[in-house]
Amino acid sequence: MSIENYKIAPSILAADFNILGRQIEELEKNGIELLHIDVMDGLFVPSISFGMPLIASIRQESRLFFDVHLMIEKPERYVEDFVISGADSITVHYEACDDLLKIINRVHSLGVECGIAINPETPVESVYPYLSEVDMILTMSVRPGFGGQRFKEEVLEKVEALADIRKEKGLDFQIEIDGGVNKRNLRRIAEKGVDILVAGTAVFDGKISKNLKEMRR
């Protein structure tokens, strides 16, 4: 996929929850198509964020594509609830699942897309057996659990490997990167073959329209 085709997926983890609805509207007005929604359970990662009620609430007002990133243990317990709440895509962590194929099939049977996420220290080869089954591979470029961390450069090797294998095998999964993306490193990351760049702090810290404009420049 060429660099012009990449998308920015703002992560609402960095939003101001007092005015979340208004901020989502602003994203829509600024041409954003995907919203990245980080769900944390206090077990798979140390922090707790939000869950189904919040997603169901914003679903009422927004037509954006909801890219739900589950940083939770045994995500199979909640897949259906997240779909009912309004998820368009569900990404589970390789490290958190016992039977990945089963969960991928379950997600697809509910009519939504399925992604697999890998932590920075998880080898990219771990997901190779699933590449023809999933819609997306999410490569974490920070330790999962918190926004505002520094981008881990070494993760770009995994992106390159995924882009190569995708081309070689004629596959069509998307490559997403999550953590530490900002206006300075965005283009360089996209050039490696990333389709979706998640950005929290870089989008919500300050003025959203100005931030997005600078990121797209």
Is the torsion defined by CA of 9, 201, 209, 212 positive or negative? Answer: negative
Which of 6, 7, 8, 11 touches ligand DX5 by CB under 6 A?
11
Q: Taking CB under 6 A as the rule, does residue 179 contact ligand DX5?
A: yes
Any contact of residue 41 with Zn ion (CB under 5 A)? Answer: no
Q: How many angstroms separate the CA atoms of 21 and 31, rounded?
A: 16
CB 152 within 8 A of CB 121: no
Phi-psi region of 203 (alpha: psi -120 to 50; beta: other; left: phi over 0): alpha
- For residues 36 and 62, the answer to whether their CB atoms sit within 8 Å is no
Nearer to ligand DX5, 43 or 171 (CB): 43
CA-to-CA dists, residue 201 to 48, 177, 178, angstroms: 18, 14, 12
200 binds, among Zn ion, ligand DX5, none (CB under 5 to 8 A by kind): ligand DX5
Note whether 55 binds ligand DX5 by CB under 6 A.
no
Q: Could you give the angle at which helices 52-59 and 20-29 cross, rounded to 10 degrees?
A: 50
Is the CB of 146 or the CB of 165 nearer to ligand DX5?
146
Q: Could you count the other beta carbons within 10 Å of the beta carbon of residue 5? A: 8
Nearer to Zn ion, 29 or 90 (CB): 90
> Which H/E stretch holds residue 89?
strand 89-93
Nearer to ligand DX5, 102 or 213 (CB): 213
Verify whether residue 98 is a known catalytic residue: no
Number of amino acids touching ligand DX5 (CB under 6 A): 23
Q: Is 38 an active-site residue?
A: yes
Least Å distance, CB 45 to ligand DX5, is: 6
* Segment interacting with ligand DX5 (CB under 6 A) among 59-67, 75-83, 126-134, 173-181: 173-181
Binding interface with ligand DX5 (CB under 6 A): 11, 13-14, 36, 38, 69, 71, 142, 144-149, 178-181, 198-202
